[in-house]
Amino acid sequence: MSFKKKINQIIRVDLAGEKGAIEIYKGQLAVIKDKTLSNEIKIMLKKEEEHCEKFTKLLVQYKVRPTILDPVWKVGAFGLGMFSAALGKKATMACTEAVEEVIIDHYEKQSKYLEGKDDALSKVTKKFASDEKEHMHIAKDMGTGSDLLHQTLKSGIKLISKIAIKVSERV
Ligand SMILES: [Fe+2]
Ligand SMILES: [Fe+2]
């Protein structure tokens, strides 16, 4: 694959991911009544909006076509947010933990790949990986459950996130 094609994939999938993260949090906020919990989520949401803004700029700068699946991800992510929040506080945070775990790994791999090839973009992905790490720790600190239900939920959400990444890279 050409380098430009790889860069296109990186920017396309990252923007889609950040948009997805925003929708997950919005979906959760639509359901959650607990003030402490919703305040934490609002802080994370703000960060995702910054991330999204950055990748929107990069999309224009690098002349990348966004994924055609944006509307699908939008509905799916919002639904996932609502679903997790409806299951309770631990499930809400389990969703964040699972998504962030996948995204951290994803950003770190990109950052490594980009080193020496596109250092500016490598730095962005590295910085975002560390932001997402913070979110994962917030979730873990708040409690994400270790019983079967929450473990299953986490594995399921991780799998969905990985599939969404694979698909968004391509279309
Ligand atoms: Fe993000
Ligand atoms: Fe995040």
CB atoms within 10 A of CB 30: 12
Confidence of residue 84 (pLDDT cuts 50, 70, 90): very high
Residue 3 Cα, ligand 2 centroid: separation in angstroms? Answer: 27
Please write the tens of the pLDDT for every residue from 43-57: 999 999 999 999 999
* pLDDT value of position 113: 96
Decide: 133 and 74 in contact? Cβ < 8 Å: no
Exposure class string for 73-94: b at 16+ Cβ within 10 A, else e: bbebbbebbbbbbebebbbbbb
Report how far Cα 66 is from the mean position of its chain's Cα atoms.
Answer: 16
Q: What is the pTM of this model?
A: 0.93
Distance 20 CA to ligand 2 centre (A): 10
Top-level class of domain 3-170: mainly alpha
Residue 91 has pLDDT above 90, yes or no: yes
Q: How far does the centroid of ligand 2 lie from the alpha carbon of residue 128, in Å?
A: 8
Specify the pLDDT at position 133. Answer: 97
Which ligand has the nearest atom to the CA of 44? 2
SS (H, E, C) 61-94: HCCCCCCCCHHHHHHHHHHHHHHHHHCCHHHHHH
**Mean pLDDT computed over 144-160:** 95
* pLDDT band at residue 171 using 50, 70 and 90 as cut-offs: confident
Quick one: pLDDT band at residue 69, thresholds 50, 70, 90?
A: confident
Q: 2-47: per-residue pLDDT in tens? A: 899 999 999 999 999 999 999 999 999 999 999 999 999 999 999 9
Band the pLDDT of 170: cuts 50, 70, 90. confident
- How is residue 21 written in tokens? 């993260």
* Ligand 2 geometric centre to CA of 98 (Å): 11
